[in-house]
Amino acid sequence: MTLDANLHGDVLVIALHGQLIVGNRQALKQRVLDDIEAGTRKVVVDFANTGYIDSSGLGVLVSLAKRLRELGGDLRLANLNADLRTLFELTKLDSLFQIADSRDQALASF
Amino acid sequence: MVSTSALDFRIPSDLGQIEGIVAQVVHRCRECRFDARLLSLNVPVALTEAIANAMLRGNGEDVAKEVRIRAEVSEVRLVVEVEDEGEGFDLDACAEDPTTPENLAREDGRGLFLMRTLMDEVVQVEGSSHVVRLTLRRR
């Protein structure tokens, strides 16, 4: 998994390439925590190029969202494929996250 | 006649190796014409969970300890056994529901739930507390 991070105004957009799983989840977590430390409060994770996520990947998203909300911000998700949507529905995490159909929609939601 | 092919891996408890093993099992399932959804969701997620669980909880992240993954794939089903070198555990004792309101915001606790949800059967192999068997019927 690799990630591209870009600022759109005050929103950090992270595009993931590859699976978000136990072996690489720390890379995403550390990147976002570093940006939170630097003042970022709004984050969009774009899953357009991600096939699947495991429970560790889901856990990192939950953890980061919790941290951002404590600071008055949020982490929102975009471009989930049908499998990822199913994962979020099965785990009921679709009720915890704001999920947008596109990156633009996620950006506009802030 | 049903033809079955087998895969057998022994790998150190290195989380970075999981994706490659999973890809090989998925590839074999694809050759046996498993449904696309099983190949893109059920098999990779459940197998990742099982191997990660063996490395992290079974072997305590000790890279000197190995995980063995044996997969039998046919046009009827996939059966995977994941074995670690740990002390063993009681699979039935791990029944907490991560979807309840009090558990929803927890960072952990979804691995076994996903395995059970995405596979047809998840059991401990009889007589061994550190071998988990996952079964998925082809459809």
Domain spanning B4-137, CATH class: alpha beta
Nearest to B107 among A59, A91, A95 (CB): A59
Q: Give the start-to-end residue ranges of the domains of chain B.
A: 4-137
Smallest Cβ–Cβ distance between B105 and the set A54, A62, A83 belongs to A62
**Residue A60's CATH number:** 3.30.750.24
- Please state the domain count of chain A: 1
ipTM of the complex as predicted:
0.94
Q: What is the pLDDT of residues B116-129, one digit of tens each?
A: 999 999 999 987 77
Residue A61 and residue B110: Cα distance in Å, rounded?
Answer: 13
Tens digit of pLDDT for each residue in A11-20?
999 999 999 9
A21 to A107, B34, B77: CA distances (angstroms): 25, 23, 25
Residue B1's pLDDT band (boundaries 50, 70, 90)? low
B98 vs A24, A53, A91: nearest CB: A91
State the best of B25, B26, B37, B45 to mutate against chain A, taking most chain A CBs within 10 Å: B45
Q: How far apart are CA B83 and CA B68, in angstroms?
A: 5
Q: Answer yes or no: do A58 and B40 touch at CB < 8 A.
A: no
DSSP string covering A34-75, please?
HHHHTT--EEEEEEEE---B-HHHHHHHHHHHHHHHHTT-EE
